[in-house]
Amino acid sequence: MRYRRSHYTAAEQVEWDRIIGNIKRHIRESFTLKKMINPGWKQWGMRIACFSIVHFRHGLHRVKTQLINDRGDVPGWVLVVLMTTGLVTAIWTLAAPRIQSILRTSLDSMNNIR
């Protein structure tokens, strides 16, 4: 099974396939009955190193891709700001006389309390 990602270049895919092939070959050679029962520290070190290298390279590629392609969601925020401004303006123009009368009534009633 090949581990292909569409965002890898051809050279990266070849390198990825080579690394995965080496890891699979090493695992096939390591999983004999004797080595499975009592693997030496070299086998465990090699397994950990292979695992770390593959995941570190993949993580670096993901970070690099995100840094290059990260544009943010500026059009979305602009749309939200414009729509909010439009709604406030529309509501204010329609309800301005009523809002002013409510505010005047409440302030006059507060002045009468003193």
User: Given this model, what pLDDT does residue 83 score?
Assistant: 92
- Dump pLDDT digits (tens) for 45-63: 777 777 777 777 777 777 7
Each residue of 65-110: pLDDT tens digit?
776 765 666 677 888 899 999 999 999 899 988 988 998 998 888 8
**pTM, entire model:** 0.31
Domain boundaries, the chain: 1-70, 73-114
HSE-CB of 35 using CA atoms within 13 angstroms: 12
If one counts every other C-beta atom within 10 angstroms of the C-beta of residue 16, the result is: 19
